[in-house]
Amino acid sequence: MSKYFEGKKVWITGASSGIGEALAIAISERGGFVILTARSQQKLEAVQQSLKHPEHSEIVTIDLMNAPDVDAKAKAVIHKHKDLFMLINNAGRSQRSKVEETEYQVYKDLMELNYFSIVKLTKQVLPNMIAQRQGHLIAISSIAGKLGAPYRSGYAASKHAIQGFFDCLRSEVHHHNINVSLICPGYVNTQIAHNAMSSDGTALGKADPDNANGMSPEYVANKICDAASKGKEELILGGTEKMGVYLKRFFPRILSRVLKNKSKAEYGS
């Protein structure tokens, strides 16, 4: 097991469940100090108690949809942890609805949470990383950030935005000894489908067979830790859905046909 995280401070958003929770556990096992962020104090406390070294952790509740709260809490974290080494932007929400039926506010909320809050946090920690001439920024994107699948227009758009932002940032901060890694998972067995936004912004509230049969959060977390320790700029994870990325690059018309057929088979449109 790599010692990359040993003694380093790592801030994880969306740490109360799913990939974020699994990352907190994996990094604690690797000797890192983890700062756990989400909205629910109670859920974060449960995650904290599951860590190998709960004494080497801290809870910071933030509502990432509340810009003033993000600013205030981020400044407090940076002031207290000037040696913060890594920020893992993991918080986010998916979507399952047709474009024609989706309210405009849903798109705004998805971009605010999945994109703008990440930009805001990243810009808060970046000056300190530049000053100490080291750091690692990780964004949990998605295969949906590489291609667009039916019923995920807002989610895919927000993840495409993340890809563009961090690709640009990587080229700008490399000479400051700051690594930037984009993680693009496919289907992961979490509550992402249950929590996905429907056309009116309410939670979908039901399982997605693809996610239910997907990778475990623990598997994904360990792969992310390995990739980070090796300084990988991008990691694409998944089963057969991973092939979509390569079809998009080399055979886009074939992918388009596959997605159209998928839409017709699953949604009747």
> Active-site residues: which are they?
155
β partners of residue 95: 197
Max CA-CA distance within the chain?
A: 55
Both structure tokens of 19: 């990939």
Q: Which residue has the tokens 């563009």?
A: 164
Residue 249, Cβ neighbours under 10 Å: how many? 11
